[in-house]
Structure 1
Amino acid sequence: MTRAFAGVRVLDLTHVLAGPFAAYQLAVLGADVIKIEPPDRPDFVRERGPDAALNGQLRGVNYQVQGGNKRAMTLDLRTAGGREIFRSLAGTADVVIENYRTGALDRLGVGYEELSAANPGLVYCSMTGYGQSGPRAEVNAYDNVIQAASGVIARCGGHKPNLAFIDYASGYNAAFAVAAALYARTRDGRGQRIDCAMFDTALMLMAPEVSALLHPVDREPVEESGLGAYETSDGVFVLGTPTPDQNRRLWSALAAEGHPHPHFEGLNTLEELRSTSGAMREALRRIFLTRSAVRWEEWIHGHGLPGERVRTVAEALGEEQLKHRPFLHSAQDGDPVVPVAAFGYAHDGPSRDRPAPGFGEHTVEILEEMGLTTADIARLRSEGAV
């Protein structure tokens, strides 16, 4: 089988989550991804996860989630020998993905300008908190601080969502940008400099809210009735019926159940729904208390309408639906089961064929592929370059 990125070589100079996840998405679609780490400073996420034994082996579950299908080598870009090896690798690579602080690789002489001069077809993707220019360009960031800076936490009532969703969204964003640049290269042969900022990603995830604030009008915001969360007799149910058609079907079905409200059923426009949102929500609060969340879920689905009871992640993983999706995979017996990709192909789709590599596991293999001898490799080790 030939996957989408078979034959594409990616140098993965990233750590923690967003960057490694971007490279992982290319790896599960066939790219030869080489994860490069300093010999004295392994990616710290290798030591994170619920299994202490795996953490001690530098194979923590948090690392394995985005490490499959990659090869790993050690390389110290602070040394002349390390930089020489990296330039040689970059000379024949298709993609470099890095999430160093803005300007750090330029100062080492392995930034985009230097590498693209030798390899004009190189796609060079930089992932940072705030981008390559501006007053925050060199400010470090993680998912949680980007949530704070972007307004996500404020929008969630001052509470931080306990998920690294900005990291994952940034990884998807970068992987898409790289894929698009590689596709463009097939037409003109030119590489590309990609500047991905987590701050931008966070704001993009709130695009309607961003645009609304930039286009203010003189009226108070109203919570839409069809998108609310409602207490039931034993849990919380989330309703998803925001359109006039769905609203009519909802209230028609409720009327047949002994909850008639002809006015709500007769609303025909989004503006009409908005104007009665408060009264409708109050009516729905009373109605949803009459049944359990499970029974409401069955009822809503039975009428072809969107809505789900609030589940835990453990409950979601227990859903029969996941058995019909190509989402989870274990590369070998005893290897942690991890997500692969959130989509499937009819053929040659994403697959996790190899477990996440050990720290520096493929250093010698890759150096030998480059033509280095045992003596060359020994010299690089003695210099601390690998």
Structure 2
Amino acid sequence: MEMGRPFEGFKVLDMTHVLAGPYCGYQLALLGADVMKIEPPDWPDPVRARGPVPSMNDARMGMNYLAQNGNKRAITLNLKSEAGKRILKQLVKDADVVIENYRAGAFPALGLGYDEIKAINPKIVYCSITAFGQAGPWATRTAYDPVIQSMAGIVMKTTAGADHPVMPGAPFIDYATGLNAAFAIASALLHRERSGKGQYIDCAMLDTALTMIGPALVADNYAGPKKPTPREAGLDCYLTKNGYLQLGAYNIKQNNRLWGFLEHPEFCNLESWQDLWDNASKMRSALQEVMLTRTAEEWEEALAAVRVPSSRVRTLEEASMLPQLAERGFLQEIAAEDIPAGVRVPGAGFIFREDGPRLTSPPPRFGQHTETVLKELNYGAESIAQLRRDGVI
């Protein structure tokens, strides 16, 4: 029997906004889940209004929103109203997953926490995504990616020595948290298939951030004797004839191949990490001089031929045009009447040989499927009209 994509037949209620939560739901949707995006009727997901095209922002279809909301359906629902709660509880009855990323305690205060939802559907997998988790002195604080990167020490660690801290230019923690949550949900669903039991998942951005800087965290947290080590010269960025080249000669063998290619016999037979550290300053000086003899493109090609990782420092626009991405079909164009041609969004960061992740429908308009979903729940036209008059939808 042909099964299709891994999450086909699974229903996900996605009550999230901004990046981390929607990205989690997007990953499940790419793999076939029926993901229903639920937004308050008076408060659309804020990223709907963010992006470089004002007309798309005005239409609540900003590019920031498009990037992680494909393959979903969208409804509006006022969960502060009793009628809205009743509708959500109807949806929960045959759902598999609930995802929410509001302040800790907000959903239990509405009577929609895990315990209440579990009473309706004992097999539910309920995932709460927050900045700091559900317990602890900061549980009720809110935060966004830059705050978490700063709190986790990432900004100071990655810009040490700069005149002032420099924030990384992308929301890595948001997207890593979304992936972390999606993995947790997939794991909980597998556990449910084996045990028949649902699960509550407490996913915190701060925890995710610190896992992403794990080696440095372990080293900095160790209170015993330590010997500081310099940054290896083979992992630095160098000015070339026409721009910068990032070297990625990480291990001993790669360094030996690099220096053999550069005809520097004094460095091409090193045997240990300590050798790399002891020679880092001399190696860096030699690299700074030799890198100026070729263009970044020339170095990238030449070093690839001897299996030494490197890359010309590219702009994001240049990266999006890489033939490697085209070959893998990573960026997929959204085809929809109300979205301009040429809008391409990332898919998943992996490929299946069969039945893998794919974009099958455009990101939904605000409340696009509200009436359709209510009709599926046997609400008639007049009942739907009354819900609209009452501000429930």
TM-score where L is the length of structure 2: 0.94
* Displacement over 4 Å in runs of 4+: none
Among residues 204, 207, 222, which one is paired with 1:200 in the alignment? 207
The match for 2:162 is none
Q: How does 1:346-357 map to 2 (within 5 A)?
A: 346-357=353-364
Q: Give the residue type in structure 2 aligned to 1:235.
A: G
SS in 1 for 2:293: coil
* 1:333-372 Cα deviation digits (max 9, x unpaired): 5452111111111111111111111111101111111122
Q: How does 1:252-263 map to 2 (within 5 A)?
A: 252-255=260-263, 260=264, 262-263=265-266
SS in 1 for 2:281: helix
The match for 1:374 is 381
* 1:196-225 Cα deviation digits (max 9, x unpaired): 111111111101100111225331231112
The match for 2:366 is 359
Q: Which runs of 5+ in 2 are unaligned?
A: 160-164
The match for 1:21 is 23
Note if 1:242 corresponds to 2:244: no
* 1:1-25 Cα deviation digits (max 9, x unpaired): 7111000000000001110010011
Q: Give the residue type in structure 1 aligned to 2:27.
A: Q
Distance 1:61 1:235 in 2: 30
The match for 2:228 is 220
Deviation at 1:381, TM superposition (A): 2.0
The match for 1:295 is 298
The sequence identity of aligned pairs, in percent, is 47
Deviation at 1:98, TM superposition (A): 0.3
The match for 1:37 is 39
Distance 2:317 2:42 in 1: 37
Distance 2:68 2:248 in 1: 32
The match for 1:148 is 150
Deviation at 1:248, TM superposition (A): 1.4
Contact 2:131 2:204 survives alignment (8 Å): yes
Among residues 94, 97, 111, which one is paired with 1:95 in the alignment? 97
SS in 2 for 1:144: helix
Q: Give the residue type in structure 1 aligned to 2:33.
A: A
Deviation at 1:96, TM superposition (A): 0.5
Among residues 287, 306, 322, which one is paired with 1:284 in the alignment? 287
- The number of residues matched between the two structures is 381
Contact 2:74 2:364 survives alignment (8 Å): yes
Contact 1:225 1:242 survives alignment (8 Å): no
Distance 2:112 2:91 in 1: 11
* 1:90-120 Cα deviation digits (max 9, x unpaired): 1211000100100000000000011012211
Note if 1:268 corresponds to 2:271: yes
The match for 1:184 is 191
Deviation at 1:233, TM superposition (A): 2.0
Among residues 303, 312, 317, which one is paired with 1:314 in the alignment? 317
In angstroms, what is the RMSD of aligned CA positions?
1.3
Contact 1:331 1:353 survives alignment (8 Å): no
Contact 2:74 2:366 survives alignment (8 Å): yes
Q: Which runs of 5+ in 1 are unaligned?
A: none
Deviation at 1:173, TM superposition (A): 0.7
* 1:12-46 Cα deviation digits (max 9, x unpaired): 00001110010011011100000001111111111
SS in 2 for 1:263: coil
